[in-house]
């Protein structure tokens, strides 16, 4: 064994190789360092199948024979260490790896903190410890906040296409720290969720096929810009969730595939490794070093960038060995089933580790499977997430809303079935980017009927979504009725706000967001059945629904009436549990929101006329294709009384 030219903790090497080095980014990659009186860069790389490793860059003409960095293998650890005297921040570099197969490959640094702007693929020596954070108050308070009994209204955003002046003229992180954060605050959202910003070669992949897991994409500027964006969010009271892709990676030559001439990050069995649906490769979740890499990456975003949580992408594809695979690629686990046991164990370990280091974090599973206990604790056999996207609710609701109102009575169960399982997991109700691309049409354009009716249906849909149990997520553009489906290569159609109906949708969304925030009944008991009660659930013939939401106290409730039909009712009697005055908090049919503006009382007094199994009732008009939210007297006190 040759002596390493620069020291690396033997404990770190051991922990990495046993899947327990959870802050590996502090050891691996390129770090500014001093060695034997010289300043330079220390390089640490895992490449157990390599015969030789060289660091190449501008500093040696990209010529591996001109060795500026003497990379040496540390014993039998599979880890190479070297020091480049005189190298500095901003230097471009790659690893030249002579593999066991005799081929030389140029690879980007798996732990590189910064990367070149595509189509270039070199890593860049960078420091991430210079930004002066101003979010201390947010970070201190975050530890005491429990997300379950708090409002959560997430604005899902693709940074590149939120606003764009011309093709590929993206707003940089600094501009977004002003414009995007101002907009999100004005609209009343509580969180921003950002589509993946790890470095990726193809714009059209939206970041879901990554090469640089520790490098924020250079499309929007340097790493400090992202720190500024997150800081700006926190100073304004906005949480930040990052889409995180740990299920697969792209096959580009400079990335992780066949990293040292052999499969290291991916499984050796191509049937398990290959994901033909996406043209990517799965991670080898059972390999300890891969576990150290991925879990360290999760903690990296939470630590270095102060990210508040991760939305873990494509969980269903991770936990099913045969997800969307042809018959000839199907495999079984050691028990004869199709569950990916290694992936399940990895997800449990991931969540246990994240919550040990950052117990206040949000860990959300984007999971379309029926696997049980996704949000149950690991000690109870669950996967340990604290939230799961409710894909079933989303699919059923979109099918229902796309149905012409004349035929909705025949599929009434689509809007009521979700309450059979609404409290089996901690759910987020997602209206995400996936539903408005690839020919699926925008949310507005999914709605049936002539143009004005599409808007009425959309307002009704948003109202039901907002009042249904579960936290909320809306993809950008939905808030003002983007008519075309999402175009990732162009900015949102902000010019639509010049048209009254679209501007009215924005006003309606802003008001709906405010009603949500002001009413603890809509979020305090999201995950407990006592916070929800049907009033009239089986009225399929009229396509009507009504229900009660509560914050746990009888005097803090609201009642919701939804009319999914084209028929209006001048007088509709609604059963309520408590006597008193009910105040109209929201009417989607208001003229300011683009509705008909039919007369609607601002208050309704109960009478002792039993209805819907209740001792009291109120009598109200119900316009066609509308939703009304009525507050009991005490419920209007709002968030400040919590």
Residue 450, classified by CB atoms within 10 Å of its CB into exposed (0-12), middle (13-18) or buried (19+), is: exposed
**How far apart, in whole angstroms, are the C-alpha atoms of residue 495 and residue 279?**
36
β-pair type (387-389, 427-431): parallel
> Could you please report the per-residue DSSP string of 209-276?
S-SEEEEE-GGG--HHHHHHHHHHHHHTT-EEEEEE--SEEE--TTSSTTTTSS-SSS-SSHHHHEET
536, β-bridge pairs: 546
Q: How many CA atoms lie within 13 A of 132 on its CB side?
A: 0
The 3-state DSSP class for residue 441 equals coil
Assigned token pair, 587: 């009417």
φ, ψ dihedrals at 52, nearest 5°? -155, 145
Kindly give, in sequence order, each residue whose CB lies less than 8 Å from that of residue 598, ignoring residues fewer than 6 positions away.
568, 589, 621, 623
**How far apart, in whole angstroms, are the C-alpha atoms of residue 580 and residue 559?**
13
H or E stretch at 455: helix 451-467
**How far apart, in whole angstroms, are the C-alpha atoms of residue 436 and residue 287?**
37
**How far apart, in whole angstroms, are the C-alpha atoms of residue 491 and residue 484?**
12
The CA R_g of the chain, rounded to the nearest whole Å, is 27
Query: Using a CB cutoff of 8 Å and minimum separation of 24, what contacts does 446-450 make?
Result: 446/398, 446/401, 446/402, 447/401, 447/402, 448/401, 448/402, 448/403, 448/404, 448/405, 449/404, 449/405
**How far apart, in whole angstroms, are the C-alpha atoms of residue 305 and residue 589?**
43
Active-site option among 313, 435, 518, 589: 313
Cβ atoms of 198 and 220 closer than 8 Å: no
Which among 29, 30, 31, 27 has a CA at the least distance from the CA of 12?
A: 27
Residue 313 bears catalytic tag:
yes
Active-site option among 135, 274, 308, 366: 366
Cβ atoms of 598 and 590 closer than 8 Å: no
**How far apart, in whole angstroms, are the C-alpha atoms of residue 547 and residue 558?**
9
Cβ atoms of 119 and 82 closer than 8 Å: no
> Could you please report the per-residue DSSP string of 114-147?
EEPPTT---EE-----------HHHHHHHTT--G
Q: Known catalytic residues? A: 313, 366
């Amino acid at each position: 064994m040759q002596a390493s030219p620069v020291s690396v903790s033997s404990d770190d090497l051991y922990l990495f190789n046993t899947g327990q080095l959870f802050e590996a980014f502090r050891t691996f990659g390129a770090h500014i360092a001093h060695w034997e009186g010289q300043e330079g860069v220390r390089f640490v790389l895992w490449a157990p199948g390599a015969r030789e490793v060289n660091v190449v860059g501008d500093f040696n003409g990209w010529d591996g024979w001109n060795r500026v960095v003497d990379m040496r293998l540390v014993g039998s650890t599979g880890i190479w260490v070297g020091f480049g005297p005189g190298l500095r921040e901003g230097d471009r570099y790659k690893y030249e790896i002579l593999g066991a197969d005799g081929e030389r490959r140029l690879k980007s640094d798996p732990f590189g903190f910064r990367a070149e702007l595509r189509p270039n693929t070199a890593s860049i020596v960078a420091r991430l410890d210079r930004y002066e954070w101003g979010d201390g108050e947010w970070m201190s308070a975050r530890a005491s906040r429990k997300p379950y009994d708090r409002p959560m209204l997430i604005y899902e955003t693709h940074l590149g296409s939120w606003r764009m002046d011309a093709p590929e003229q993206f707003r940089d992180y600094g501009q977004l720290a002003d414009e995007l954060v101002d907009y999100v605050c004005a609209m009343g959202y509580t969180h921003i969720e950002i589509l993946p910003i790890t470095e990726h070669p193809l714009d059209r992949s939206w970041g879901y096929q990554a090469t640089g897991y520790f490098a924020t994409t250079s499309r929007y500027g340097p790493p400090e810009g992202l720190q500024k964006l997150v800081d700006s969010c926190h100073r304004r009271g906005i949480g930040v969730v990052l889409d995180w892709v740990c299920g697969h990676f792209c096959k580009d030559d400079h990335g992780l595939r066949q990293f040292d001439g052999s499969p290291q990050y991916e499984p050796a069995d191509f049937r398990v490794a290959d994901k033909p649906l996406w043209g990517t490769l799965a991670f080898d979740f059972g390999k300890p070093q891969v576990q150290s890499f991925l879990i360290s990456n999760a903690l990296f975003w939470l630590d270095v960038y102060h990210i508040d949580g991760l939305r873990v992408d494509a969980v269903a594809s991770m936990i099913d060995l045969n997800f969307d695979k042809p018959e000839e690629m199907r495999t079984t686990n050691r028990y004869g089933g199709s569950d990916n046991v290694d992936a399940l164990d990895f997800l449990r370990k991931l969540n246990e580790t994240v919550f040990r280091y950052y117990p206040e974090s949000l860990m959300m599973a984007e999971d379309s499977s029926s696997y049980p206990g996704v949000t149950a604790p690991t000690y109870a056999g669950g996967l340990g997430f604290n939230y799961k996207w409710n894909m079933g609710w989303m699919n059923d609701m979109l099918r229902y809303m796309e149905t012409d109102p004349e035929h909705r009575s025949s599929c009434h169960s689509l809007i009521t079935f979700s309450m059979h399982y609404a409290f089996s997991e901690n759910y987020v109700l997602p209206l995400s980017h996936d539903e408005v691309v690839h020919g699926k049409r925008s949310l507005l354009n999914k709605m049936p009927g002539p143009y004005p009716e599409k808007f009425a249906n959309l307002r009704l849909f948003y109202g039901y979504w907002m009042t249904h149990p579960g936290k909320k997520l809306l993809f950008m553009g939905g808030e003002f009725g983007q008519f075309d489906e999402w175009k990732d290569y162009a900015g949102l159609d902000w010019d639509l706000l010049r048209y009254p109906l679209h501007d009215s949708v924005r006003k309606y969304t802003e008001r709906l967001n405010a009603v949500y925030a002001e009413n603890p009944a809509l979020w305090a008991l999201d995950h407990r059945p006592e916070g929800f009660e049907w009033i009239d659930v089986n009225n399929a013939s009229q396509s009507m629904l009504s229900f009660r939401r509560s914050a746990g106290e009888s005097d803090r409730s609201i009642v919701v009436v939804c009319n999914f039909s084209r028929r209006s009712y001048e007088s509709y009697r609604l059963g309520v549990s408590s006597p008193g005055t009910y105040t109209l908090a929201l009417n989607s049919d208001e003229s300011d929101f683009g509705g008909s503006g039919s007369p609607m009382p601002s208050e309704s007094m109960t009478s002792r006329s039993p209805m819907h199994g209740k001792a009291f009732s109120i009598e109200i008009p119900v316009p066609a294709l509308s939703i009304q939210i009525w507050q009991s007297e005490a419920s209007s006190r709002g968030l400040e009384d919590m």
